[in-house]
Structure 1
Amino acid sequence: MTGGRSEVVHTRVNATDDPIAHLTPEDIEEIGRELDEIRASVMDDLGESDARYIRRMITTQRYLEMGSRAVLLFSGNPMAWVAGTAGLSVAKILDNMEIGHNIIHGQWDWMRDPKIHSSVWEWDNVTPADHWKNSHNKVHHTYTNVVGHDNDLGYGIMRVDDAQKWYPGYLIQPVTQFINATFFEYGIAAYDLELGKNWPTRHDNPQWRAEAKKVVNKIKKQAAKDYLLFPLLSGPNFLSTLAANFVSNIVRNYWTHSVIMCGHFPAGVKTFTKTSIDGETRGEWYLRQMLGSANISGSKAMHIATGNLSYQIEHHLFPDMPSRRYQEIAPRIQALFDRYGLDYVTGPLHRQVGSAWSEIIRLSLPNDTSLRQTIQILATKGMKGLKARARATRFRPA
């Protein structure tokens, strides 16, 4: 965005309406001022009730994990296996989402608690926390939905916008994304290392090799805990406990992947060109977060399970605000959207997940080409015909 205008790359190639055409530069800066006021009103009000919340959440998670692992000592019993696996899955989700992700964001640094601080917190994930802080906190939250800068858009392996050139390899994008979801924590670790970019030059890059070694060591630590130590403690139930731990990790991976995909992929969310952020003002940065994020509606339990990333819009506006406060400010944020004629993208989990996967499938095909059309073209004209279709429907900015 420059000068109060946006070079929005629409998520649907036929969409031509500029979502902020009706806003003046003064409107955009006023939006920024109003958001600054909302942030200040909450941050100035933080206190003991907030600190008590995160401490209770950490205690709850730890007791749930310990209890679930204790039950899994008897995992040879089917009921114990189901109960222990379910409990451990929830414990891992809480650790990664409501606790780890938010502490690493610095949401609780104001407490000055040396044990609950972004500088020291480590989580139950193969990605070291300091790697996540760089790729997620610094890069993703700075360049949200800027194609070519924000690698959270597709993690470097997906076509995420109509404006991106289509290649035949994108046809398997739904499959590769499902595999990515299954082993999501490992995909994130590779993404944080920029593995594809740095692997060819690894011998000439000792700093990168040192960072890669950190990841390998973290993977070993996590594997030793989940796939050796606790299964061994189960004695004759070694294999069933190992399987339970594996399933718990996969459940956590599917959940975190789904929540994250819902934040930036559903229909209605906008993406941006690299040049659109040249000279970007504070108000324009806020506006990009508003247009580039989507929420999930649901119960309090669902919000906690998502780490309150169900309030993705609010999180992107104020990433260092304690997550429990997003629900409090959401009505004020939605009222701001309404007042300035902007679309507050939200919906129930099943709809947002479905919308995100629909986009993944749609973007795996040439623009303006349905799955049925793709199959017909491949059957009658082969890959050459599909490439010709891609050239004919390639996105061309007005």
Structure 2
Amino acid sequence: MTATDSGQREASPLAHLDQETIERLAEEFDAIHDEVYGDLGDRDRQYIKTVIATQRQLAALGRIVLLNSRSRGAWVAGTACLGMAKILENMEIGHNVMHGQWDWMNDPYIHSSKWDWDTASTAEAWKHSHNYIHHTFTNIRGKDKDLGYEIMRIDPNQKWHPVYLLQPFYNVLLTAFFEWGVALHDLDLEAIRRGEKPMSELAKDLKGIAGKMRRQIVKDYLGWPAISAGAFLLGQAATGGAIRQPRTSRIGNAIRRRGGGRGRTAATFADRVLPGAESTFLRTLAANFTANVIRNVWAHAIIFCGHFPDQTYTFSQEEVEGETRGGWYVRQLVGAANIEGSPLFHVISGNLGYQVEHHLYPDMPSTRYSEVAPKVKDICERYGLPYNTGPFGQQWGQVHRTIARLAFPGGKPRPKPGAYHRPPHSSGGEPGVSEAARFRGRLPADHPDAGPEHESGGVEVSPPPR
């Protein structure tokens, strides 16, 4: 393993690693994984079920509050609740369940082979492009399609094209509509262009996306707005028309424009009955749209900050030829970056603030990343490796500076961090494991609470074997 830029190769903290050292690293990283998996049990099961229940309660609360979306306060509160519910569903639940992090429970529903999420990507396409392609070939130029999502130049080793001049602008659109950008990315249009993906497979993928689009439109932009409008009409009927509403109806105005005097009676009826319902429908629709944008903006920020800050390395295909399991671990370690934050921040980011740990252990329950992080840091310190981390503002700023700079020709890799050293004020100790945790075993498959066995959860990450 070497740095990606020859001018920085000698200074790279990777340069001193010989093959024997890399394999010792593999043994240590494997040991962390095995220790956690030997300890999985009731507290982990309770955690994910609690998060799912909380997400559903937030979504229900947001929908209920938005029944009164004509109130500004209710609109803001309902949109905030719904936006947070969508973030939890997308990040801590959907992303992680479909990674197979909870497959060990053999739950009938909380399993990567069964779960689907409330976003534009189909589960099957996303698991292939993300779990397999991205996590297997992380930051290998020409193989990891998430490296700029094939539409942005985020590494100076990528060949410049005039279209990249627009990337600071279309990145804004990608931020707001990230779920749709990911869905199109999952189609692998480059493989279609090269003739490596048959049109029949493209048609299948497009049909899946169309189905997801239809469900989102029906649910967020027709169904719930109509329910809110119906709730207004019921309230108006119950109060004898006492609820204030606009004087005229959009439908009534349309009838007058098209029918002239002949539609006067119908227009008058619409003006008396529909203005408040129309307003409620449109405001609920706007709230649902805003909640989806909130989810998209947050997901874009967390994912970009975990992959494209200055600290991360990229690799040529030649550099990873003959890569062993230890080499794969090192590439994951230096190809990702953490985002520092509070416990709440980590929950709503899907614990992807621990992006380093996630790339080392994509199938490990996300709530365990904070526990293994000190052990990963210890390995980095002992082996002279970097541990990429920084506050959200720093990582976000670096990412967008890179997007702006590399929109133009040229550019060179930013300086990389040196070997990790524990902060001077740190005690150096790691959190102890309670006696209860030591004896909390993983539920065996034949346990009555374990649920049925499942087939493979779909395409999974494929590191070199042990």
| Structure 2 CA distance for aligned equivalents of residues 273 and 223 of structure 1 | 42
More helix by share: 1
Q: Does 1:9 align with 2:10?
A: no
Deviations 1:224-262 (A, max 9, x none): 100000000011110000000000000100100000001
Query: Counterpart of 1:376?
Result: none
2:12 to 14, 18, 22: 18
Name which of structure 1's ranges 80-89 and 171-180 shifts more when overlaid on structure 2: 171-180
Match of 1:225 in 2: 219
> Cα deviation per residue 1:151-188 (whole Å; 9 max; x = unaligned)?
11111001122122222221111112111111100001
Amino acid at match of 2:215: K
1:212 aligns with 2:255: no
Paired residue for 2:145? 151
Q: How many residues align?
A: 362
Answer yes or no: is the 8 Å Cα contact 2:66–2:78 preserved in 1.
Answer: yes
> Which of 52, 60, 66 is matched with 1:66 structurally?
60
**Structure 1 equivalent of residue 297 of structure 2:** 254
- For residue 350 of structure 2, what is the aligned residue in structure 1? 307
Encode CA deviations 1:76-96: one digit per residue, 9 max, x unaligned: 000000000001000000000
- Write the distance in 2 (CA, Å) between the matches of 1:310 and 1:228: 35
1:31–1:283 CA contact under 8 A, matched in 2: yes
Query: 1:126 pairs with 120, 134, 143, which one?
Result: 120
Of 21, 27, 30, the residue aligned with 1:33 is 27
Can you list the C-alpha shifts for 1:125-172, whole angstroms capped at 9, x where unaligned? 011111111100010000000111111111100112212222222111
Which of these two proteins has the greater Rg computed from alpha carbons? 2
**Which runs of no fewer than 5 residues in structure 1 stay unpaired?**
370-398
Distance 2:351 2:196 in 1: 38
2:69 aligned with 1:75, yes or no? yes
Q: Which amino acid aligns with 1:9?
A: T
* Paired amino acid for 2:206: A
Match of 1:174 among 168, 175, 179: 168
In the other structure, the counterpart of 1:164 is 158
Judge conservation of contact 2:62–2:79 (CA < 8 Å) in 1: yes
Please name the residue that 1:319 is paired with. Answer: 362
Q: Which runs of 5+ in 2 are unaligned?
A: 230-276, 413-466
Contact preservation (8 Å) 1:9, 1:161 = no
Q: Residue 345 and residue 323 in structure 1: after superposition, are their counterparts in 2 closer, same or farther (change >3 A)?
A: same
1:350-389 matches, within 5 Å, as 350-368=393-411
SS at match of 1:100: helix
User: In structure 2, what is the equivalent of residue 295 of structure 1?
Assistant: 338
State how far apart, in whole Å, the 1-side matches of 2:89 and 2:347 are.
11
Q: Distance in 2 between matches of 1:101 and 1:141?
A: 13
TM-score for the superposition, normalised by structure 2: 0.75
The answer to whether the 8 A contact 2:156-2:411 is kept is: no
Q: Secondary structure at the match of 1:347?
A: strand
Q: Whole-Å Cα distance in 1 between the matches of residues 310 and 117 of structure 2?
A: 32
The aligned counterpart of 1:194 is: 188
- The 8 Å contact of residues 100 and 123 in structure 1, kept in 2 or not, is answered as yes
1:3-33 residue CA offsets vs partner (Å, 9 max, x unmatched): xx33x324xx864433311122111111111
RMSD of the alignment, in Å?
Answer: 1.7
Compared with structure 1, are the counterparts of its residues 124 and 199 closer, same or farther at alpha carbon in structure 2 (3 Å cutoff)? farther
* Partner residue, 2:178: 184
Letter matched to residue 317 of structure 2:
K
Q: Does 1:244 align with 2:287?
A: yes
Change over 3 Å in CA distance of 1:43–1:240 after alignment to 2? same
Q: For 1:199 and 1:226, how far apart are their aligned partners in 2?
A: 34
The alignment partner of 2:13 has SS state of coil
CA 55–161 in structure 1, closer or farther in 2 if over 3 Å, else same = same
Equivalent-residue separation in structure 2 for 1:193 and 1:210 (angstroms): 10
Distance in 2, matches of 1:286 and 1:333, equals 11
Q: Counterpart in 2 of 1:117?
A: 111
* 2:379 matched residue in structure 1: 336
Q: Is the 8 A contact 2:338 2:352 kept in 1?
A: yes
For 2:190 and 2:27, the matched residues in 1 are separated by 41
Q: Which amino acid aligns with 2:161?
A: Y
Shift of 1:202: 11
Match of 1:348 in 2: 391
Check the 8 A contact 2:332/2:360 in 1, yes or no: yes
